[in-house]
């Protein structure tokens, strides 16, 4: 985790660790994750609605999840899309970003899915997911209006989707 010899580990869990460095910087070491931007033939963006315990409400997000031990980010993206939406696809890395670098080292790898095909893997036991196909501009508009709760990866995926659609227009 940290190279600093003046680091105190306050908590160690299965997906995160809380450290205090030099007696003053609280740092969350978090497992990295992936998110997937998938667009259908009509240009709609694949989203999933699911309850999020940390915020006590449902979110609408791009399919996403943690990178398991031994997986590459691309393998994790393929798996998450199969688990959450029942789709398999070719993946292209669009970008990677830190969720909150002021205190957390979690990095998210955003992939674009292409050549979508039906292929389901079982969902995690604790997941209850509803699949939605929404116009990317609608996702952005509802996030802005506060009528849709998403994540940073959802915003990033929707921005990429709108940009891809605009690039296709004559």
β-strands 130-134, 64-66 pairing: unpaired
The whole-number pLDDT of residue 4 equals: 55
User: Which residue carries 């890395």 as its tokens?
Assistant: 93
Question: What does the pLDDT read at residue 162?
Answer: 95
CA distance 117 to 152: 26
Class of domain 31-168: alpha beta
Instruction: Yes or no: say if 134 and 44 are a contact pair by the CB < 8 Å rule.
Output: yes
Per-residue model confidence (pLDDT) at position 2? 47
Around Cβ 34, how many Cβ atoms within 10 Å?
Answer: 30
Phi and psi dihedrals of 85, rounded to 5?
-125, -5
User: Quick one: pLDDT at residue 121?
Assistant: 78
Terminal Cα distance for the chain, rounded? 49
The per-residue pLDDT for 123 is 67
The pLDDT value recorded for residue 114 is 97
38, β-bridge pairs: 113
Give mean pLDDT in consecutive 10-residue pieces for the chain, a chain of 170 residues: 75 95 95 97 96 94 96 98 96 97 97 94 77 97 95 96 90
Confidence (pLDDT) at 149: 95
Q: Are 81 and 157 in contact (CB under 8 A)?
A: no
For residue 169, what pLDDT is reported? 83
Q: In the 8-state DSSP scheme, what is residue 140? A: H
Contacts (Cβ under 8 Å, ≥6 apart) of 103: 26, 27, 28
Rounding to the nearest 10 degrees, give the CA dihedral for residues 147, 94, 42, 127. Answer: -50
């Amino acid at each position: 985790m940290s190279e600093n010899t003046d680091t105190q580990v306050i908590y160690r869990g299965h997906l995160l660790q809380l450290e205090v460095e030099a007696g003053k910087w609280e740092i969350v070491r978090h497992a990295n994750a992936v998110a997937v931007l998938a667009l259908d033939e009509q240009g709609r963006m694949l989203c999933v609605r699911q309850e999020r315990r940390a915020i006590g409400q449902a979110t609408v997000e791009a399919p996403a999840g943690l990178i398991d031990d031994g997986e590459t980010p691309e393998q994790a993206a393929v798996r998450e899309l199969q688990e959450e939406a029942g789709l398999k696809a070719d993946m292209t890395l669009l970008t990677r970003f830190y969720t909150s670098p002021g205190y957390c080292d979690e990095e998210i790898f955003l992939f674009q899915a292409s050549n979508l095909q039906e292929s389901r893997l079982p969902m995690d036991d604790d997941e209850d997911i509803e699949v939605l196909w929404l116009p990317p501009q609608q996702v952005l508009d509802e996030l802005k209006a506060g009528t849709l709760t998403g994540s940073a990866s959802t915003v990033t995926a929707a921005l990429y989707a709108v940009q891809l659609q605009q690039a296709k227009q004559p």
